[in-house]
A and B are shown apart, each in its own frame.
Chain A
């Protein structure tokens, strides 16, 4: 009994030892600062001249360790606990970075991982698809349906909701097909055919299911389903997913953001167009021309979101 306990203690010590060592004499916190900055926080004050020696630090992205990132400047805070590394080029903060620091005694402390929280990264995909890269106003996709169904608020809402549902379902199905059939069998050239087929299939399935399960909802939303097929946003999402090689959660966030962005754009536009009906517009601008001009103004307003970073 006693011996088993000793073994366990020894094993536990063995496992915990590296952790304790790291915590004892090394960086207590690491995070990204500005777009070209990594901030390291030490538990106790360290010597300024030592900390400011750029030769002590090696930094690279986890994916390609051969490419060392060049440090331009090193700032140390007044209390000597915070060291901020400023890089020549801005960092891709979506990727995990690895920082190694050589100590005074020549020992090298390997691999401090600097990364954003994954949830924050997922939310940033959502926000980006929703506002910063809104599919209608900054990527100019889905315009036929956008101008066709934004005349009334109720229509716009119905279209947006149906659209989001179909988009999420078809994007996730496309992800499965892409990951488990197209990539393993090297059939990447069939992307377009497979994705458009899946989208049509989803629309048909939603149509059939909705007709049986909830006829009232079908009567109000059914007409939009046909329009969904002829829309480029719905095929753009799987294509973007494939070219960025997104995983399941990222694909979900992208499709949700794209659908939500489309809903937002439709609702904004329909609110304006309901008022345009009452306005006194020159006859040459009636109908589509004025709608295009309004959309142009929205697009310029959405430019204001560019560079937005919440997480």
Chain B
């Protein structure tokens, strides 16, 4: 089954038209839970990117060997293996960041987005395309996390990457854990608004 998209198209699809967080609304837990700063979002984004790319490539490599009836358990175990790798690596080399992210690194194993990409893409397409698709989806997730983290950190503590840029704290509320729901909800509404406005100018509505 040939794939007619180029690598760049695959990446841009993951970031824009099928963004895991804002468009597909999958893997919301970390987006709400730990996106209080840009660094946290970036770190978890990198971890997810790693797991997504390597799982996609692994499944794509072995796609002819996997019996269709046991494909879901196979995906789960593949993902679990790569999550263990990144979990141990982070715990060893970046213990501070690992402590901040807490249980969420281990929970990457249950992220619906990764299983979904394996089921819909990697088990049918070539290794090369699966790599780019995984990269696109992982980047899309990372961008989503960083954007939410950016908004929350800027509004909540007036800082970016831990550096004070505003000099005051506009809305301390945004750094509270429960504000994650509000930020994600408002941003989704914002993207919907842009889309509606765009369609209206084109005269489609």
Q: How many A-B residue pairs have CB under 8 A?
A: 119
Q: How large is the interface on B (under 10, 10 to 19, 20 to 34, 35 or more residues)?
A: 35 or more
In terms of DSSP, what is the predominant structure of the interface of chain A? helix
Contacts of B27 in A (CB 8 A): 144
Instruction: Tell me whether B182 and A296 are in contact (CB under 8 A).
Output: yes
Digit string of A77-111 for contact with B (CB within 8 Å is 1, else 0)? 00000000000000000000000000000000000
Task: In the A-B complex, list the 4 residue pairs whose CB atoms are closest, starting with the nearest.
Answer: A292-B185, A296-B181, A299-B178, A140-B33
B128: interface (CB < 8 Å) = no
Give residues in B with beta carbon < 8 Å to A. Answer: 25-30, 32-33, 72-73, 76-77, 80-81, 83-84, 87-88, 103, 106-107, 109-112, 115, 177-182, 184-186, 188-190, 192-193, 196
Q: How far is the CB of A151 from chain B (nearest CB, A)?
A: 13
CA distance A114 to B137 in the complex (A): 55
Contacts of B109 in A (CB 8 A): 192, 196, 235
Digit string of A24-52 for contact with B (CB within 8 Å is 1, else 0)? 00000000000000000000000000000
Contacts of B186 in A (CB 8 A): 289, 293
Instruction: Tell me whether B110 and A140 are in contact (CB under 8 A).
Output: no
Instruction: Tell me whether A193 and B81 are in contact (CB under 8 A).
Output: yes
Q: How far is the CB of A141 from chain B (nearest CB, A)?
A: 5
Contacts of A300 in B (CB 8 A): 178
In the complex, which residue of chain B has the Cβ closest to the Cβ of A300? B178
Give residues in A with beta carbon < 8 Å to B. Answer: 137-144, 147, 189-193, 196-197, 200, 229-232, 234-236, 239-240, 243, 283-286, 288-293, 295-296, 299-300, 303
With a 10 A CB-CB cut-off, give which of A197, A289, A303 has the most chain B CB atoms. A289
In the complex, which residue of chain A has the Cβ closest to the Cβ of B113? A144
Q: How far is the CB of B95 from chain A (nearest CB, A)?
A: 15
Instruction: Tell me whether A293 and B185 are in contact (CB under 8 A).
Output: yes
What are 22 inter-chain pairs, A to B, with CB distance below 8 A? A138-B177, A140-B29, A140-B180, A141-B33, A141-B107, A142-B29, A143-B28, A144-B25, A144-B27, A147-B25, A191-B84, A192-B106, A196-B76, A197-B80, A230-B115, A235-B110, A240-B103, A288-B185, A289-B186, A289-B188, A292-B184, A299-B181
Instruction: Tell me whether B103 and A236 are in contact (CB under 8 A).
Output: yes
CA distance A127 to B98 in the complex (A): 28
In the complex, which residue of chain A has the Cβ closest to the Cβ of B26? A144
* One of A139, A144, A284 near B196 (C-beta < 8 A): A284
Contacts of B73 in A (CB 8 A): 197, 200
CA distance A190 to B84 in the complex (A): 8
Contacts of A293 in B (CB 8 A): 181-182, 185-186
16 extra A-B contacts, CB within 8 A, seeds A141-B107, A283-B196: A143-B28, A192-B109, A230-B110, A230-B115, A231-B110, A235-B110, A240-B103, A243-B103, A285-B192, A289-B192, A290-B185, A292-B184, A292-B188, A295-B185, A296-B178, A296-B185
> With A147-B28, A293-B181, A299-B177 in contact, is A197–B77 under 8 Å at CB?
yes
Instruction: Tell me whether A284 and B193 are in contact (CB under 8 A).
Output: yes
In the complex, which residue of chain A has the Cβ closest to the Cβ of B115? A230
Contacts of A240 in B (CB 8 A): 103
Contacts of A139 in B (CB 8 A): 33
